[in-house]
Amino acid sequence: MDVNKILSADILDILFEGKNKEYGAYDLRRSYNKRITVALVSTAVICLLLFLGSIMANSSKKEKTEILVAEDVTLEKVEEKKPPEAPPPPPPPKQEPPKVEITKFTPPKIVKDEEVKPDEEIKEVTKLEDTKIGTINQEGAKDEGIVAPPVESKGTGVVEAPKVEEDYDKVFTVVQIPAEFPGGLAGWTKYLERNLNRDLPVENGAPPGKYTVYVSFVVDKTGAISEVKAENDPGYGTAAEAVRVIKKGPAWKAAVQNGRNVIYRHKQGITFQVSED
């Protein structure tokens, strides 16, 4: 190769001067940069397509709402503090009958006057008319022949408190048999599945999770529902929907206390579960 051509020739032309350029090595080295560029661009395009496909797949997932739990909640029983019982009155003091004058009976005995003791002296008959005769001498009231009445036993002195009749017209929060939806828990769950708008939380933008609403209402003696209100509000329209479904529903079975239907305030929980497909 001429000197002038060497200065302007490519390094591959210099290396393959006088060699068989059709063999393949020359073409491989000549197209090396082009093949590397194509490979890098192709790899970048494939990665970009995979990334875009992943984003589109995530965005295409739809959220759905399920009714997870339909539970009854029993209001806690509040124990009323009873006032301390008053101590029983002390027993009445024992009354002793009044003392009556008693004169000792002295059998007659013949002795000398100086040997007679004062307590053995025989009383005159006139002095024995208003006194009792006994074995001792005792001072007291004159015996007027009145027999004292017997002492009446007062017992223990404890008076039982009168029994208080329960008011069956008040609103009970704790009863022996709580109010119940017709058909029990199975009937209640079936009613919710048919009437509850389970897609409402998703339509209002609720993220995946559980949303439990506690609704309290009064069930009267006939089972009619009134005073329905939500005790809490998880949001996304769940509280209003739970209240609507209970108001729309049929009458319940009335609560029972001591064999009687009573007015009962019931608390019911409804849980919405938002999950991804």
Of 103-107, 213-217, 225-229, 238-242, the least confident: 103-107
Domain boundary among 134, 158, 179: 134
Min mean pLDDT across 45-59, 132-146, 232-246 is at 132-146
22 within domain boundaries: yes
Q: What is the mean pLDDT of residues 44-56?
A: 87
pLDDT at 39 over 70: yes
Q: Compute the distance between CA of residue 104 and CA of residue 122 in angstroms, rounded to an integer.
A: 9
Residue 162 has a pLDDT of: 66
- Asked whether the beta carbons of 268 and 217 are under 8 A apart, the reply is yes
Distance spanning both ends of the chain, measured CA to CA = 73
Residue 193: give the domain boundaries.
63-77+168-276
Residues 6+ apart with CB under 8 A from 4: none
pTM: 0.47
Residues 183 and 270 in one domain: yes
Q: What is the mean pLDDT of residues 79-84?
A: 60
Q: Where are any strands of DSSP class E within the chain?
A: 63-73, 102-104, 132-134, 171-172, 209-219, 225-230, 255-257, 260-276
Residues 115-171 pLDDT 10s: 666 666 665 555 556 666 666 666 766 655 555 555 555 555 566 666 667 888 899
- Same domain as 179, residue 225: yes
Residue 37 lies in a domain: yes
Same domain, 192 and 248: yes
Residue 147 counted as domain residue:
no
pLDDT band at 93 (very low <50, low <70, confident <90, very high): confident
Cα pseudo-dihedral 152, 153, 155, 156, rounded to 10: 110
Within 13 Å of residue 170, how many CA atoms lie on the same side as its CB? 8
Tokens 């005792």 -> residue:
138
Q: What's the domain count of the chain?
A: 3
Inter-residue contact 251 to 181 (CB < 8 Å): no
Which residues pair with residue 67 across a beta bridge? 272
- Say which range, 85-89, 215-219, 254-258, 259-263, has the weakest mean pLDDT: 85-89
Distances (CA, A) of 233 to 209, 239, 245, 247, 249: 15, 5, 15, 17, 20
Q: What is the mean pLDDT of the chain?
A: 76
